[in-house]
Structure 1
Amino acid sequence: MNNVIVVGCGRVGSRLANMLSDNGNNVCVIDRKVEAFANLGRNFNGSTVQGVGFDEETLVKAGIEDCDVLAAVTQFDNANLMVAEVGSRLFDVPHVIARLYNPDHERAYMQLGLDYVCGTSLVAEDIFSKVVSGHGAHLDTFGDFEVLRFSLSLSCLDRHSIRVADLEREHDVRIIAFERGDGSASSIPSRDSILYNGDLVLACVRHELIPAFSKYIQD
C-alpha cells in the first residue's frame, strides 16, 4: 500500500485517483478548484485538499512528508514540472511522475531525470501501472502494451504457485522471463513453467488490463 498524492482532478487525475484508491492505496487529491473534486464521484475513498499543487504548505497539508508517490497530472506542463521539482528536490518523494502534454518539452523532462507519461489517451492507466508495479518496475511502453518487472503475489489465490499458461490465458498477458524469489535460478518460461509466490517476473500486459492484473503485483 502506497501513500499517493495526485495533483490535478480533471478527467485523468480523478480516474487515476479512483484506480489507486480501489487498489488499496491511501490517496489525497489536490486541485485549485474545489468544484473539480466532483469528478471523483461519491465512491472515492480518499481525501482532498484545495490549493496550488506546487505550494509547499498545500503539499504538507496533503501529507507529502509521508508520501511514497507524487503524480502531477494537471493540464499544464509547466505546473506539472514545478510540482515534480518541489516533490523530488524539497521533500525527497521516492517516486515522482509527471504528465507531459507537449512533446517539445520532453527533452527538459529527460534532462531533469523525471519519470513522465506523454500522451493524451490512457494516461491514467500508464501512471497507475508505474505506481502499482513500483519505482523502476515499469520498463517500457509498446503501443497498447506495458512491459513490467515485479515480484509476483499469489495472495489472491488459494495456492502458492501457478502455471505460466494458466496465468497468461486467464489474464491475456505474456510472461517474458522470471527469476526465483531467492535468486537461485532464472529462465525464459515455457507454457508449463511454474511460477511461485515472490518470483521476480518480467511480463507484457495490455494497458487496459493492468488494473485487474495488479492483484498479482506485490506492493
Structure 2
Amino acid sequence: MSNVIVVGCGRVGSQLANMLSDNGSNVCVIDRSADAFANLGRNFNGSTLQGVGFDEDTLVKAGVDDCDVVAAVTQLDNTNLMVAEVASRLFGVPHVIARLYNPDHERAYMQLGIDYVCGTSLVAEDVFSKVVSGHGAHIDTFGEFEVLRFSLDLSSREGKRTIRVGELERDHDIRIIAFERGDGSASSIPNKESVLYQGDSVLACVRHELIPMFSKYIQE
C-alpha cells in the first residue's frame, strides 16, 4: 500500500484522489480552501488538510516524510512547480508529478527533471497511470508505452496461481519482455506458452492508458 499526497482538490485533484483511494492507496489531499474538499464526495476514504501545498509544515502534517508520491495538480503552474521542488529537494519524495497548464513552461519542467502531465483532458487518468507505474518499478517511457518491472500478483484470479504469457498479453494488450522466477531460480525471454507464477518478477511493456486496468497484477 502506497502513501500519496495530492495537492489541489479541484476537478482533477478530487478525481485523482478518489481513483487512488479506490486503488488501495493512503491518500491525503491538500487545498487552500476547505470548501474544495466537497468535490471528493462521501465515498472518499482518505484524509484532507487545509493549507498551502508548498508549505513545509503543511507537507509534514500531510505525512510527506513517509510519502511515496506527491502529485501537484492545482490550476497554477507556479504553485505546482513549487510543490514539486519542495517535495523532491527538501523532503526527498521518490516520485513527484506536477500538472502543467502552459506548454511554454514545458522546457523549464524538463530542465528541472520534474515528471509532469500536460493537457486539459484526462489529466487525472494520466497522473494516476504515472503513480501506478511507479508502484511497479517504472523503468522508462516510450511515447505511449511504459516499461515496468514488478512482482506478479495473481490474487485476483480466484485461487489460480498461474497464467500463460499469451493469455496475459491477449487480455490486456501488453507485451511481456522477460521474467524471472520469484525464487530467482531461472529467468527467460518468454513465448506465448510460457507459464508465469505468483510472485514472479516480470518485465513488461504496457500502454500508458491501460495501466489502471492492469494494476491488479502489480504486487505493491
The two structures have a TM-score, normalised by structure 2, of 0.89
SS of the aligned residue for 1:134 comes to helix
Residue 165 (structure 1) aligns with:
166
SS of the aligned residue for 1:156 comes to helix
Q: Which moved more, 1:55-64 or 1:72-81?
A: 55-64
Residue 40 (structure 1) aligns with:
40
C-alpha displacement at 1:185, in angstroms?
Answer: 2.5
CA distance in 1, matches of 2:36, 2:139: 30
C-alpha displacement at 1:206, in angstroms?
Answer: 5.3
Residue 202 (structure 1) aligns with:
204
Instruction: Report if aligned partners of 1:129, 1:138 keep a CA contact under 8 Å in 2.
Output: no
Instruction: Report if aligned partners of 2:133, 2:211 keep a CA contact under 8 Å in 1.
Output: no
Instruction: Report if aligned partners of 2:176, 2:202 keep a CA contact under 8 Å in 1.
Output: no
Residue 146 (structure 1) aligns with:
145
C-alpha displacement at 1:58, in angstroms?
Answer: 1.2
Aligned: 1:78 with 2:51: no
SS of the aligned residue for 2:155 comes to coil
Structure 1 residues 19-30: aligned runs within 5 Å: 19-30=19-30
SS of the aligned residue for 2:124 comes to helix
C-alpha displacement at 1:190, in angstroms?
Answer: 3.2
Aligned: 1:97 with 2:101: no
CA distance in 2, matches of 1:206, 1:65: 29
Which residue identity lines up with residue 146 of structure 1 in the other structure?
F
CA distance in 2, matches of 1:162, 1:196: 7
C-alpha displacement at 1:140, in angstroms?
Answer: 2.0
Instruction: Report if aligned partners of 2:169, 2:176 keep a CA contact under 8 Å in 1.
Output: no
SS of the aligned residue for 1:97 comes to strand
**Gaps spanning 5+ residues in structure 1: where?**
none
1:193-219 C-alpha deviation (Å, 9 max, x unpaired):
322332222122351x43222111121
Aligned: 1:192 with 2:193: yes
| % identical aligned pairs | 67
1:163-195 C-alpha deviation (Å, 9 max, x unpaired):
122223333x221412214284341x4332322
Instruction: Report if aligned partners of 2:68, 2:94 keep a CA contact under 8 Å in 1.
Output: yes
Residues 1:174 and 1:19: Cα distance change in structure 2 (over 3 Å): same
Instruction: Report if aligned partners of 2:129, 2:208 keep a CA contact under 8 Å in 1.
Output: no
Q: CA RMSD in A?
A: 1.9
Count how many residue pairs are aligned between Structure 1 and Structure 2.
214
CA distance in 1, matches of 2:37, 2:139: 29
C-alpha displacement at 1:44, in angstroms?
Answer: 0.3
Instruction: Report if aligned partners of 1:12, 1:123 keep a CA contact under 8 Å in 2.
Output: yes
Residue 57 (structure 2) aligns with:
57
Which residue identity lines up with residue 215 of structure 2 in the other structure?
S
SS of the aligned residue for 1:84 comes to helix
Instruction: Report if aligned partners of 1:134, 1:150 keep a CA contact under 8 Å in 2.
Output: no
Instruction: Report if aligned partners of 1:150, 1:217 keep a CA contact under 8 Å in 2.
Output: no
SS of the aligned residue for 1:20 comes to helix
C-alpha displacement at 1:12, in angstroms?
Answer: 1.2
1:92-115 C-alpha deviation (Å, 9 max, x unpaired):
111111111122111111111111
SS of the aligned residue for 2:92 comes to coil
